[in-house]
Amino acid sequence: MPLPDSSALGHEWTTLQDNHEHYERSSLLIKLSGIALFIACAALALDGLLVLLLLALLWLQEAILRTSQSRLGERILRIEQLLREAVQPAPPACQLHSEWLAARPGLAGLLREYGRNMLRPTVAMPYVVLLGATMLWFPFA
């Protein structure tokens, strides 16, 4: 992948973009794990409540992963803005964690952020379908 700029910001952009795409692949693997889990639990006739809890756990795990990914996305957008403006001398690169720490929400803010990511349609859709299928497929005692 060619660098958008040969500066330190350009290198940071490339690294963060690669990591952002890695999060996409990881998210897909979590979704596929949920489908495999549902099929395995159906084949083993496990308790429906256990299946619901395991699927909910995967959904939460993906929300946490997507929250981290969104932080990378915010920094990528900031770098793109800085590269567009081409300010001389260039602002310091490698400020992902410093910028996040400066704007870090408290515990309630982090939980809201996880919740917002859980409800994004691309995150929620497979889990809503799998949870619904679990409630229809598995008998509850």
3-state SS, the chain, equals CCCCCCCHHHHHHHHHHHHHHHHHHHHHHHHHHHHHHHHHHHHHCCCHHHHHHHHHHHHHHHHHHHHHHHHHHHHHHHHHHHHHHCCCCCCCCCCHHHHHHHCCCCHHHHHHHHHHHHCCHHHHHHHHHHHHHHHHHCCCC
Answer yes or no: is pLDDT of 24 > 90: yes
Closest by CA to 14, choosing from 68, 80, 85, is: 80
State the average pLDDT over residues 21-38: 96
Question: Residues 48-107: pLDDT tens digits?
Answer: 899 999 999 999 999 999 999 999 999 999 999 988 887 677 778 888 888 888 888 889
Are the CB atoms for 9 and 90 separated by under 8 Å? yes
Output the pLDDT for position 3: 45
Output the pLDDT for position 5: 56
Answer yes or no: is pLDDT of 138 > 90: no
If one counts every other C-beta atom within 10 angstroms of the C-beta of residue 110, the result is 13
Output the pLDDT for position 51: 93
Rounded CA gap, 51 and 127, in Å?
A: 12
Answer yes or no: is pLDDT of 17 > 60: yes
If one counts every other C-beta atom within 10 angstroms of the C-beta of residue 126, the result is 20
State the average pLDDT over residues 102-121: 92
Answer yes or no: is pLDDT of 127 > 90: yes
- Written as six digits, the tokens of 3 are 């660098």
- pTM of the full predicted structure? 0.83
Output the pLDDT for position 88: 72
Arithmetic mean of pLDDT over the chain: 89
State the average pLDDT over residues 98-117: 90
Are the CB atoms for 62 and 122 separated by under 8 Å? no
